[in-house]
Amino acid sequence: MRIGAHVDQADAITQAQQMGADVAQVFLSDPQSWKGCDITYPGGADALRADAAAADLRLVVHAPYVINVASTNNRIRIPSRKLLQKIMDGAAQIGAAGVVVHGGHVTAADDPAKGFDNWRKAVEALETDVPVLIENTAGGEHSMARRLERIEQLWAAVTAAEGGAEVGLTLDTCHAHAGGIDLAGAVDAIRAITGRIDLVHANGSIGAFDSGQDRHTALTGGTIDPQVLVDLVRAADAPVVCETHATAPDDVAWLRAQVA
């Protein structure tokens, strides 16, 4: 099982090796910005790709948080699609195994079906060989991927798209717990919907169950029983990324010891 962490793109290989990670998740741009890719790794995209391959390090890209391809607002949805395409292009250049994208949301005034169909259109519009890995989210009653019934509706939409069979899923443990999904049965419940879990974001949660709080903490802290996290990681049997920067080295070492 590959276990790693989110690291700084400019120093991705060194940071990953220092913590014994064999998966490295990176941003290719400011996560709060609408700007396109900014490759800060010395030597550029080709160097990052080559150095990761030489180190047997699997790269994953996390798309900017501002992307919301589900939105019914043209001023958000259209730029979101354009930015996602740029990130997918950058991910291909560095040899990434996938691009994590939040499920997004609509507003209270919208029919959720429009958001799901916007996801279908976004998938069909993408030109890429890199898989999109849709991530479940923690909050919002109008989100596309918080609760199991919404994930089921979303999956029906994206798999109906041309190219939809290549869309994958990222299961975030903090988001699931805070979003009201019981982690003890989460892997079976999600696989029953999607048939797959491609990546796990292993994070503790500061917020209580079903609180809607997207606040990560160390794996051995917060409101999630650490053993439940270990059991979920084993059951998912997918690459793992720990995202709490301050504790990532300890989280990677602890999780690797637990699942060994």
| Total count of domains within the chain | 1
For residue 241, the model assigns a pLDDT of: 98
| Stretch 66-75: mean pLDDT | 98
Q: What CATH number is attached to the domain comprising 197?
A: 3.20.20.150
Going 58 to 135 to 201 to 61, the CA torsion angle's sign is positive
| Stretch 107-128: mean pLDDT | 97
With bands split at pLDDT 50, 70 and 90, how would you rate the model's confidence at 104?
Answer: very high
* Domain of 148, in residue numbers: 3-259
For residue 210, the model assigns a pLDDT of: 98
- At position 143, the amino acid (one-letter code) is S
With bands split at pLDDT 50, 70 and 90, how would you rate the model's confidence at 54?
Answer: very high
Instruction: Please indicate, yes or no, whether the overall pTM of this predicted structure exceeds 0.85.
Output: yes
pLDDT digits (tens, 9 = 90+) for 184-212: 999 999 999 999 999 999 999 999 999 99
pLDDT digits (tens, 9 = 90+) for 143-157: 999 999 999 999 999
Burial 125-163 (b: 16+ CB within 10 A, else e): ebebebbbbbbbbbebebbbbbbbebbebbbebbbebeb
CA 65 – CA 50 distance, rounded (Å): 27
With bands split at pLDDT 50, 70 and 90, how would you rate the model's confidence at 96?
Answer: very high
